[in-house]
Amino acid sequence: MPVDRYDAASFAPVIAGRSRPARLASEKAAVAEICARVAEEGDAALRELGLRFDGWAPRDGETFEVSKAELERAADRLDGADRAALEFAAQRIRNFHSRQLEPEFRGEGGLNIRTRPVRRAGVYAPGGRAPYPSTVLMTAIPARVAGVDELVLATPPRRDGTVPDAILAAAVIAQVDTVYRAGGAQAIAAMAYGTESIPRVDVVAGPGNIYVTLAKREVFGAVGVDGIAGPTEVLVLADASARADFVAADLAAQLEHDPLAWGVLVTDSAGLATRVEEELADLVRGLERAAIIREATCCVVVARDMAEAVRVVDEFAPEHLLVVAEDADGIAARVRNAGAIFVGPYATVPLGDYTAGPNHTLPTSGAARYSSPLGVHTFLKRTSVLSLGREDLVELREATVRLAALEGLGAHAHAVEVRLE
């Protein structure tokens, strides 16, 4: 298992390089063309692109939509224990996100912030290497908690036009209104612009491959997006007290997602670093997805002390941060930049991926420096309300008129003055 070792200084250029936008000229051009075609041609483009990329498009009598009857049949076909696990996770996700609902905020006088959900939201569940019913729960449930009126899901079909039962069952559990068999950049464009079959939404949320990510960037502005995701990543911040086999297990768990994934150990203990490298090599040999893990990026950073280690964490701004140390709570409290923080030896990241309750759709590639996990707020918008009378106009008149004059906007000043003549 290849593992690169650094000190804090030599790791800094690695962090900087990871945050630079990739040179993806051909992929960007291809995605721009796909989005433009869907915007202009609607279902015709969606059928041709679906056949090309997913191997399926609706024939005569078929539609992109999965029927309500098929949704219910899929939920019934799912193994009872699997259904129970999805229901258990859904309830915890719903309970956690319900606490994110924002109260109405009122300022002084007639000043207010009004919070309302978007009318229609679209969520995306990727296919590819595996189905991700957990992503359906993590994207759809916050939208429902927010009060979105209509919720649609797009997900890639198999070559026979079917969608995995686990995805459809999760859609039923999360109360998705409609599921569409469409994947990739063309699905994002369809939800952003609307076609004859797929309605235009106000917000698109959910992770995907590089083409999905580039499509979200391409359509942003025509529609809101939850964020621009990069490859998944985990950073473990640990001292000498950490168990090396626990640390290795969390690194492997995230690296098995994708050959582009990142797994990083930052520690003040060279001894722990060596033990983790050995444990990881032994562990990977027995894993089904060993080839993917070996392709991914795995690094060990040995810092002078935990203060320097925390600075490395904040520069990296990881998607997932696991803190395993004698003062794990205190150290975690000092971290500024992370998408989700897992504290203590038993807070393994897969708990957050599935059942703990907080969202697993998180900022990646350093975006945790300025952005937040997907949540109820993703589907809410705020409107300022100014209910002002004549006495407010008198109070605000002088400063408003002077500032309008300072900027050379005479009509602004007149709109104030005319009301007091």
Rounded Cα distance between 121 and 110, Å, is: 31
Residues 112/385, Cβ–Cβ less than 8 Å: yes
**Separation in Å, CA 72 to CA 58, 125, 130:** 21, 18, 22
- In this structure, the number of other CB atoms found within 10 A of the CB of residue 119 comes to 11
Domain that holds residue 155: 42-109+118-225
Report, in angstroms and rounded to the nearest whole number, the Rg of the chain calculated over CA atoms: 25
Residue 211: inside a domain, yes or no? Answer: yes
Give the residue among 339, 342, 345 at the shortest CA–CA distance from 362. Answer: 339
Alpha-carbon distances of 348 from 3, 55, 353, rounded to whole Å: 21, 37, 9
Q: Is the dihedral of CA 15, 19, 20, 24 positive or negative?
A: positive
Looking at 4-111, list the stretches that DSSP marks H as alpha helix, in order from N- to C-terminal side.
8-19, 25-41, 43-53, 68-77, 80-98
Active-site residue, from 319, 326, 360, 391 = 319
Number of structural domains (the chain) is 3
pLDDT at 116: 95
Structural domain includes residue 374? no
**278 in a domain, yes or no?**
yes
Residues 176 and 234 in one domain: no
Whether residues 213 and 270 fall in one domain: no
Q: In angstroms, how far apart are the furthest CA atoms of the chain?
A: 84
Q: How far is CA 166 from each of CA 74, 241, 402, rounded to the nearest angstrom?
A: 8, 40, 63
Decide if 377 is inside a domain. no
Measured from the Cβ of residue 413, the count of other Cβ atoms closer than 10 Å reads 17
pTM of this structure: 0.93
Could you tell me the mean pLDDT of each successive run of 10 residues in the chain, 421 residues long? 92 87 80 98 97 93 95 95 98 97 81 94 87 96 98 96 96 98 97 98 95 96 93 96 98 94 97 97 95 96 98 98 97 98 98 97 95 97 94 96 97 96 87
Four-point Cα dihedral 244, 241, 349, 373, nearest 10: -140
Q: What is the pLDDT, as a whole number, of residue 13?
A: 94
pLDDT attached to residue 127: 83
Q: Which two tokens stand for residue 303?
A: 């810092």
Decide: 137 and 174 in contact? Cβ < 8 Å: yes
Can 414 be counted among the known catalytic residues?
no
CATH code of residue 61: 3.40.50.1980
- Examine residue 413 and state whether it is found in any structural domain, yes or no: yes
Q: Is position 144 within any domain? A: yes
In a domain, 30, yes or no: no
Residues 194 and 66 in one domain: yes
* Amino acid letter, 143: A
Residue 94 to residue 38: CA distance in whole angstroms: 34
Residue 56 tokens, joined: 């399926």
In this prediction, residue 128 carries a pLDDT of: 67
Q: Is 319 a catalytic residue?
A: yes
Q: Is 46 helix (H, G, I), strand (E, B) or coil?
A: helix
Catalytic residue among 97, 233, 279, 320: 320
Taking the mean position of all CA atoms in its chain, how far away is CA 406?
A: 43
Q: Are residues 140 and 182 in the same domain?
A: yes
